[in-house]
Amino acid sequence: MSVMRKIGLLAAAVLSAVLLWAAFPPLGEAANVAVALAPLLVVARLCAPKRAAWLWFAGGFLFWFGTLSWMPAIIKNNGPWPLVVLGWAGLAAACAGYFALFGWLTARVWRRWGRWGIVAEPILWAGCEWLRATLFTGFAWNFLGTAVGQSPAFAAPARLGGVYLVSALAVLLNGVFATLACRVIAQMRREQPARTNRWLRSLETALPLAAILLVFWLSLPRATSHEPRTAIPLRVVLVQRNAPCIFSSKRPRENPLEAYGRLLDVAAVARPDLVVWGESAMAEFGRTDSEHARRVADHFAAKLGGAALLAGGDWVTEGRYHNAAALYSGTNAVQFYAKQHLVPFGEYIPFDKWIPILQKLSPIGVSLWPGVARVFRLAIQGQDLGMNEPPSVALAPLICYEDTDPTLARAAARLGAQAIVLITNDSWFSRSVEAEQHAAQAVLRAVETGLPVIRVGNSGVTGVIAGDGRARWLTDGDGKVLLDAPGTMVETVRVAAAPALTPYARLGDWPLLVLFAATLPLVFAKSRKEPT
């Protein structure tokens, strides 16, 4: 292989990495998704599978190292910099491994299918994203379709097939551009084109575009003949405390009761049904199941006309420690939810339940146990919606990283949730782009389930996402998303009394997995040609 060709292939990997990085915050150039992978797709079509895998790994590593640039923010919160940098590079390399897997798979399939390998590319990409989100507890961050969520109209197919379908459509569009690029390259090389019917060559690009348009048409909301479902107006107050990271050496001394009091004083006139604090907010008052925590909830309920309080903190049951959310509502018993998707090396150490000495390595000092999916039931007082009894709303709590996992939001919808409440505390990564990237994940969970997502971040991003992906965020005086500062947001969320399950909530990932499994055998079929 000539030096110029090697440079060209490496340049394609770098170009894809830069375009893809720019599609996510902080730049957020979502339109890049349409072309970002095209250079590397050309590489997969022109190179042998092994070489394609290495080039995809190189491009993937550059992308992931750039998009995870928020990880060093942990250092200022007393994170040991050698371990932080090692973890940053290690996670980038692990995620790049899935890029390499896709590059190898698609190069193999292209050898067998020729020009119709464009059909397999979206399936293989979506399957690799699913593997990344699932294997070894998964890392479901910045799917290709997540960037599209910045423009909710283009995220609509997620209600049919989840974020994986949105990603697949983006890859299909990239494949069209890659096909056109390959034709230009062939002309530049003055290669003799294969004798192919002109109409067939037209179909090679026209059919993928038609398929994309068809999926978007199918994802449009359809008018129904029956009466519209009753909507329950849920008045919520979202509190962004901006408490410093618990590991910070510069934690200011502040009375948390006074701090929350100041933030809630501006919301008293709204007489809300629900007040939401961030993850671990109740830890400043004791465990979520303590008497002191209950008294704090009652104190603010009295100030706000009897509003319920949903807040995060520690919960111990049957001798097991949990990262939990608790709903305090009047004289009713406190409802608890334990986080299901725990973060390895953050909330537990792998295998530490079988080798207890490993628990001492946990940065929070204790090994947490996962919980199960559940729904909180919140009674709405003082509303007359023509019902025989006061309405209630089913709220599905999720904590921190859980809004990146499509399976958890889908499980909540199947349990009968009418809204999802996500509480998080990203102060470990304060003054970085992590909070904005994290919030972008929740947009797809709303579209996938058709349910509103009420999101509160201790340091941001805080807001409400409608079921179609339109978001209203807590902003500062200049209209910018409020980050690393305290604030209060008052919203009325219209919650469907009987929300219908979206196709994705009903079917889940099974259609994708069936297609992925059916495509994989083609990888190992006898190759028609093996370019170098």
CATH entry, 231-316+325-338+368-497, from 3.40.50.300, 3.40.50.2300, 3.20.20.70, 3.60.110.10: 3.60.110.10
| Predicted TM-score (pTM) of this structure | 0.93
User: Is pLDDT at 212 greater than 50 in this prediction?
Assistant: yes
> Cβ distance 63 to 43 under 8 Å?
no
Taking the C-alpha atoms of residue 127 and residue 512, their distance in angstroms, rounded to an integer, is 7
Cα angle 329, 343, 512 (rounded to 5 degrees) comes to 95
> Cβ distance 61 to 94 under 8 Å?
no
- Start-to-end CA distance of the chain, whole Å, equals 8
pLDDT above 90 covers what percent of the chain? 69
Alpha helices in 189-329 (DSSP H): 198-219, 256-265, 291-303
pLDDT above 70 covers what percent of the chain? 92
Tokens read off for 1? 């292989």
- Average pLDDT of the segment spanning 439-449: 96
Task: Tally Cβ neighbours within 10 Å of residue 521.
Answer: 8
User: Is pLDDT at 222 greater than 90 in this prediction?
Assistant: no
Give tens-digit pLDDT for 13-29.
999 999 999 999 999 99
pLDDT band at 197 (very low <50, low <70, confident <90, very high): low
Least confident residue range of 117-126, 288-297, 357-366, 428-437: 357-366
Give tens-digit pLDDT for 83-113.
889 999 999 999 999 999 999 999 999 888 8
Give tens-digit pLDDT for 148-194.
988 888 999 999 999 999 999 999 999 999 999 988 887 777 665 55
Give tens-digit pLDDT for 52-80.
999 999 999 999 999 999 999 988 877 78
Cα angle 337, 340, 342 (rounded to 5 degrees) comes to 125
Q: Domain residue spans in the chain?
A: 3-221+509-523, 231-316+325-338+368-497
pLDDT (0 to 100) of residue 341: 93
